[in-house]
Structures are given as C-alpha cells and as structure tokens.
Chain A
Amino acid sequence: MNPETPVIAIDKLVRRFGRADAVAGLDLRVRPGGCYGFFGRNGAGKTTTIKCLLNLLRPTSGEVKVFGLDPARDEVAVKSRLAYVPDTVAFYPWMTVRDTLDYFASFRQRWNEHTERALLDQFRLDVRQKASHLSRGQRTQLALITAICPEPELLVLDEPTSGLDPIVRREFIQTVIGAYQEGDPGRRTVFVSTHLISEFEGLIDRFTIIEQGRDVLTLDADTARERYQKIYARFSDEQGSLDVPGAHALRRQGREIEVIVNGNAALVLARLKALSPETLTSEALTLEEIFVATLQPASVVA
C-alpha cells in the first residue's frame, strides 16, 4: 500500500433507512498511524458509517474505501487487515474463552500468542470459563483480545467503553495504547467512535464530529485545543452594552462575562482588555467541550 493511501476514505456517503438518511453526505479521511476520533451524539450516524466500512451495510450512494479498496468487492482483503470491536459483544455461548480465542485465531494469518497470554493475565480471564458466563466487562475484554492478537493495521472501535465500569474502561484504553500500538505504531491506526470523549482525550490525534449524518468539524486535537478558548472577564462595574465580535457563546451576569472563541482569542482578549477588566483569564476547551460547543453553543457556559 502506498503510504499516502488513506486507511479510510469516505466520499459523500449516504445511507438511507426508509425515509430517513442515517448518513447524509459524509466526507472523511483517515491517514495511517495514530488514533482518529469519530464523535457524535446517539443517532448521529456513527454506527451506520462503521457498518458501511465493514460491508455490513451497503451505501445508498457515495463511496467508501478502506486501505484504498472497496469493502464490498474486496471484502476478504479488507477484513483480513482490520479488527472490529462493536459496542455490544456476542460470542457463541457454548464456547469457553479458550475455544473462542482459537476460533477467532483460525480466521487469521497472524496471531500473537505472547500478546494473548499477556492480556489474559492482565484481565485475569479464566480460559476455561464459558463465554455465556462472562460479565459484560469480561466480554469486552475478550473481544479486545480477539481484535489485538491478529495485529491488524486498523482497529475499529464502536463505542467500546460505554456501559463498562471505570476500571475496565481505564484498562481498555491502556490496552489500546500499550498492546495494540506496541509494534510498528506508524502503521497501526485506531478509529474510535464514541460519545465518552474525555476518556479518549489524550489518545486522539485527529477527530471528526458527525451530526445528523454529516461531518460538521474535522481538526487535529492539538489545533482544536489551541483554537477553542474560554475567556472570562470581570469588570469593576456592570458593563451596559457589551458586544464581543468573534465570540461564540456568551454568558453575562452582572460584572462578569464569559465567552467561547474559535481561533480569534487574541482579538477578543484585546477587545476586552481595552475595557480594563479586574480579571481576565482564558483557558483551552477540552475535546468534550469543543464537541458541545460545536453542537450546542449556548450550553457550554452554564
């Protein structure tokens, strides 16, 4: 594969269910290496998009390419190079953990047994346990092992941590960082769809926010945190008519005002400074706050 070929390339994707467009003209590019966040509210079209990537759904229109290949026409070639952890995991209930791992391994060209042992140990999973007797957290852990041991180039995670307890969630993310990224991180790509954004804050290099089936914002995480700032100013007396051009959202309460800016922090700071405030501070928004600011500007400053 040409190193410039995007791992995922989606152009004007539309997927219609009856009269509703679950995905309505989505564009997305994921470069190899790193971790890509796919953020959206419930029902924004995240899972439908992922199902189109995996050929579990056919697009109504538009184009989807994985590793430069068509996931429908080259299904085996695509699927042999990726692994997928869905939000709800199901295994054959009569199989033990050991049976399940062997079953998954039988479909794969590579299977890192060292990683398998290390992760079974780390998660304290008993290989003789029946899959039907596993807790929800343990099922997700088992799914993660089956996804990481083949050492795929692309790891697709769909809401992987929702419904898990905080300790399992932490372990899950550490495993993605540690075990998955261990070998050749430049060629290992994580594509994670989630609305639990703060958990993945440090992991995400770049992200797309999807709303009503469309991409509404795509940015590098560092750039986003540099551009989106929350500015707070307190004045010695009430400011009568104060308009702050370039400010996203605004809360005003007596002598205090709070605004969100997108890329024009210096300008807004200078404008506020000219009014000689008693206090003037600014801080970056987290990815979760940027998500909320993008979809619902008025509710960020409560």
Chain B
Amino acid sequence: MRFQLNFKSGKPVYLQVVDQVKAAAASGAARPGEPLPSIRPLAEELRVNRNTVAKAYTELENQGIIETLAGKGCFVRANNSRLKKDVRLELLAQEIDDAVIQAHHLQVGKTEFLRLAEARFDTFEQQRDVAKKAGEP
C-alpha cells in the first residue's frame, strides 16, 4: 500500500490514513488477508507521530476494515462487501462534489449538468462497444 499525506487538505492526518486504507480496501488495491505496514515503519516513512498511525489503525479496527492478530500485526478484513459499496459511493461523491462546484463556477445549471453526465456515460459505452467489436475476429 502506498500512502500520500497532504497537510494542505485541512483533513486530520490520521483520517487521511483511515480514508486511504478504506479506499484501497474498496478498490482492491489491498485485498482481504493482506497485511498493513506495522506502525513504526509506516510512521517513520510518513514522518508522522506513531500516535497518529496508531489512532488511524484503531479507527479502522472499530470500523471493521482491518483486524489485529496478536503478535502478527494488522490485516485487511474479509467480508466487508456492504461497506465496500458505501465506501465506493463515498469516494465517487467526493469527485462529483468537485464537478458540481466547478459547474457552479462555470455557471452550468443542474439540468444541463445531469444531461452532460448522461451524454458522457453514453460516450463511454459507445467507445466500449466499438472496442469490443474491433476485438472480435
């Protein structure tokens, strides 16, 4: 797993770690049963306080994303498919928020925005169909 901290996001550092593990678990970048880095090396690598990493891992454990096996470390938990969907939607919502804000600045209304979203979906589907046909013998 790779982590990237941004001190300019205004989001507490431990929450950034929490969200990145959640995103990795939801996207498949971290699979069930895979180990998370131990606290000390991760803290050293990110140059953050150990307490920050420990707090993030405690939070992830409380949310059922990871589990701690005594003497072995922290692992991504299996069976969080429902949560996975929530997390995926949450991730998407953040992206959509950015687009909505941008639409506001560019003075694009809601109806127009939704119409554009549909048009984009259709474009991608068409491209996929074309690609599929090209791939057939």
Q: Which residues of A contact B (CB under 8 A)?
A: 33-35, 170, 173-174, 177-178, 181-182, 185, 201-205, 221-222, 225-226, 229, 276-280, 282-287
B40 close to A (CB within 8 Å): yes
- Please judge, given known A-B contacts A182-B40, A185-B54, A279-B105, whether A177 and B7 are in contact too, CB under 8 Å: no
What are 14 A-B contacts defined by CB distance under 8 Å? A177-B44, A177-B47, A178-B43, A178-B44, A185-B50, A201-B7, A201-B47, A202-B47, A203-B49, A205-B52, A221-B13, A225-B10, A284-B7, A285-B8
B51 touches A286 (CB 8 A): no
Q: Is B33 an interface residue (CB 8 A)?
A: no
Measured between C-beta atoms, what is the minimum distance from A276 to chain B in Å?
A: 8
Set of chain A residues within 8 Å of B36, measured between Cβ atoms:
none
| Assembled-state Cα–Cα distance A35/B47 (Å) | 12
Cα distance A225–B10 in the bound complex, in angstroms = 5
Query: Are A203 and B10 touching (Cβ within 8 A)?
Result: no
Q: Which 9 A-B pairs have the closest CB atoms?
A: A284-B10, A202-B48, A222-B12, A283-B8, A181-B50, A174-B44, A202-B47, A178-B44, A284-B8
List of B residues within 8 angstroms of A286 by Cβ: 7-8
Cross-chain pair count, CB within 8 angstroms:
75
Task: Say whether chain A's binding surface is mostly helix, strand, loop, or mixed.
Answer: mixed
A202-B5, A284-B7 given as contacts; is B12 within 8 A of A181 (CB)? no
> Measured between alpha carbons, how far is A203 from B5 in the docked complex, in Å?
13
Q: Could you tell me the distance between the alpha carbons of A277 and B7 in the complex, rounded to whole angstroms?
A: 26
B79 at the interface (CB under 8 A from A): no
Contacts of B48 in A (CB 8 A): 177, 202-203
Contact B105 A177 (CB under 8 A): no
With A177-B44, A277-B105, A279-B105 as known contacts, state yes or no: A185 contacts B8, CB within 8 Å. no
Q: Which of B7, B49, B101 contacts A181 (CB 8 A)?
A: B49
**Distance, CA A160 to CA B40, complexed state (A):** 21
